[in-house]
Amino acid sequence: MACWGEGTVKVYVTPIGLIVPLACLLVCSSNFQKQGWRIEPVDRDLIPEARRVLEYLKSVQGKKMLSGISGSQDAQPWAVLHMTGREPAIAGGDMAGWHRKGSPLYHQVLQRTVDRAIYWWRKKGGIVALQWHWMKPCNPEGRAWVDPPRGTGPLDLAKAITPGTEEHQALMEDLKVTADYLQQLAEARVPVLWRPLHEIDGGWFWWTDREKPENTAALWRLMFNYFVKERKLHNLIWVYNAAHVSHTRKPPAKTFEEEVAHRKRYYPGDEYVDIASIDTYPNPKLGWGNCQEDARKRAYELMQLIAPGKMLAIAEDAGLINPDVAQREGPAWLYCSAWWVGGKSNPVDWMRKTFNHEHYLTLDELPVLTGGNVMPNVRIVKPVDGASILDSKVSLSGFASDRNGNLRRVTLYAIRGAWRNWFLRDDKEVLEAFQESKRLGELKVRSDGSWDFIWDNVAPGIYNVVALAEDSEGLVACSNAVRVTVGLKNLALGAKATASSTSRWGEPPETAIDGDPYTMWWSDNDQPDPQWLMVDLGKECNVSAVTVLWWKAYAKDYTIEVSSDARSWHEVARVTGRNKYHGDMDMLRFKPVRARFVRLHCTKRAVTWQAYTVFEFGVWEHLPEH
């Protein structure tokens, strides 16, 4: 739990014995009550809630970094929770409607973004960050990108920032629609780390004027004046964002000084920027590689020269940057947000290391910036997700806390049956799924927040386990879900796997039988059907069931086949018309057979953008009914 600000720390002992610094309950600083702000925002009428966020960021600068997630596709805060046990301090989102402008789907997407932001701030007590993949004005089908295949060309920015032109009228219409949605957040008093015109100097978005960068800077100032002075949106903390690489200077910069001088032309001025950020995907030319390797020191130096005196942040990287290097060497980044969850770009092992590292602050460590009641926090540490437990006793342990100091109870629940991809489900979906599940027992939480529990005499089977924490005001939060097998032996675990193909973006077939429900075999989308995954058990075994844990790219139609020699195959199970958006697990039972080879044979794809993806393929001698 984090506490910040000046003054003597007092403690409050909750009804179940948790010790909470009283300062955290009071938002940890008497300065808030006195409004003795130390930072002057660029919007002089910034609401107190947003000022609190700025003050807090300033207080941790150079000491710790806040962790963040982008909100792009599957990279949601609940995905971080289920993969790591922790939740990010900052949850991102996008004000792009992603569909034809003005269409019902366009507005549905925008409203969902707003609703999630309100929930994250009010209920979860986290910090909200929003970017805007602004779809090109003057074109209902316009995209943010310029170049094909997904781009829709550049926009004449000189005309767009000039009143009286068609381009300017279209641009202002877009600004009005976005301001209308941001108005909901202002009225709900939700502070936003607002990052418009992101990757401003990269060259791949229409708002980047490659010939005259000053036009892009003028567009920023136009937006600021409209949002702040005309629309009175006083909940926005303005975050400038540079790209990891700039493709706009012709000829390319030969020296670091030339790089800085060119990029500074896009900067709108100190009076329009609260925080300066950069996206730090690999850029060997400027001196940084993968996020696991360093702390982006050269990028920090670049931004110091572009925006002198501003607090600096990493708005995007593939994953969180190396915390050991950052802790040892600096620099003083405010926060770092990961764009991806899982896969090659941000492996789950790296996510677990970084989100649980002492140098990164997570949601449960934030002070109560809202000033009101927020959800408690709970996580399961052991067993690990995907654990295979051969006896009938399961030992569980974890932590629970409440930043308001009003934790009431923590209870364990279990669902017997197919594993689900919980990382694709938000809190509401998880809570609804476990409503009718088996209650294992109430936990005794120690004063340091730790707990443990013995689940004894467990019937053999496949289970999903979660802890629910409830506070005295009735708010309920879920932990990361842990998926386990108890009293069963997976014959495929550690065997030999081969496949018809493997995508260059994915992992090899062995990852489908490694016991880790987050590593995944991808087949090659460019190869024709049928495609297959085969397991060699090493010798003939009795087999009567298989389980297949899919991602969203699953097979609508497939068969399970067995063989003794990998040449002559016998079908033992068939699935047709499968329709499960989240992927999840299939449990297929059949008449016992003797087999050495077991094959997943896929014939029809569920999606067009990928072929087949399998997290785990299990082979069982016996799989009890649930």
For 51-62, what is each residue's pLDDT tens digit? 999 999 999 999
**Domain spanning 377-486, CATH architecture:** Sandwich (2.60)
Q: Which CATH number fits domain 496-620: 3.40.50.300, 2.60.120.260, 2.40.50.140, 1.10.10.10?
A: 2.60.120.260
Fold exhibited by the domain 63-365: TIM Barrel (3.20.20)
Mean pLDDT of 243-258: 95
pTM (two decimals) = 0.93
Read off the pLDDT of residues 529-558 as tens digits, 9 standing for 90 and up: 999 999 999 999 999 999 999 999 999 999
Q: Where are the beta strands (DSSP E) in 303-432?
A: 311-317, 335-338, 360-361, 377-382, 387-389, 394-401, 407-416
Determine the pLDDT at residue 399. 98
State the DSSP string of 420-467.
--GGGS-HHHHHHHTTTSEEEEE----TTSEEEEEE-SPPSEEEEEEE
What secondary structure letter does DSSP report for 537?
E
Mean pLDDT for 224-251 is 97
Query: Coil, strand, or helix at residue 615?
Result: strand
Q: Report pLDDT for 480.
A: 98
Query: What's residue 626's pLDDT?
Result: 73
Q: Which two tokens stand for residue 534?
A: 């085969």
Q: Where are the domains of the chain?
A: 63-365, 377-486, 496-620
Determine the pLDDT at residue 10: 31
Question: Would you state the pLDDT for residue 436?
Answer: 83
For residues 475 and 409, is the Cβ–Cβ distance under 8 A? no
The two three-digit tokens of residue 383, written as one number: 């067993």
pLDDT, position 38: 81
Q: What is the pLDDT of residue 457?
A: 97
Which residues are CB-neighbours of 579 under 8 A, at least 6 positions away? 556, 606
264 sits in which H/E element: helix 256-264
Please determine, for residue 1, whether its predicted confidence score (pLDDT) is greater than 50: no
Average pLDDT of every residue of the chain: 93
Cβ–Cβ < 8 Å for 363, 68:
no
Q: Does position 8 have pLDDT exceeding 80, yes or no?
A: no
Q: Is pLDDT at 11 greater than 70 in this prediction?
A: no
CA distance 134 to 146: 12
Residue 149, pLDDT > 80, answer yes
Alpha-carbon distances, residue 487 vs 131, 383, 455, 581, 620 (angstroms): 48, 15, 13, 30, 12
Helix (H, G, I), strand (E, B) or coil at 598: strand
Pairwise CA distance, residues 77 & 558, whole Å: 33
Burial of residue 439 (number of CB atoms within 10 Å: 0-12, 13-18, 19+): exposed
In order of 26, 193, 378, 388, 472, the CA distances from 408 in angstroms are 20, 32, 12, 32, 5
Q: 3-class secondary structure for 168-223?
A: HHHHHHHHHHHHHHHHHHHHCCCCEEEECCCCCCCCCECCCCCCCHHHHHHHHHHH
pLDDT at 24 over 50: no
322, 327, 332, 336: CA torsion to nearest 10: 30
> Which of 180, 50, 39 lies closest to 127 in space, CA to CA?
50
Lookup: tokens for 375: 């959800």
The H or E element that residue 105 is part of is helix 104-122
Helix (H, G, I), strand (E, B) or coil at 389: strand
pLDDT tens readout for residues 552-586:
999 999 999 999 999 999 999 999 999 999 999 99
Write out the two tokens for 87. Answer: 């939740």
Per-residue pLDDT reduced to its tens digit, 450-502: 999 999 999 999 999 999 999 999 999 999 999 999 999 999 998 999 999 99
Mean pLDDT across the stretch 270-289?
96
The rounded Cα 464 to chain-centroid distance in angstroms is 22
Joined tokens for residue 499 = 């496949």
Residues 542/554, Cβ–Cβ less than 8 Å:
no
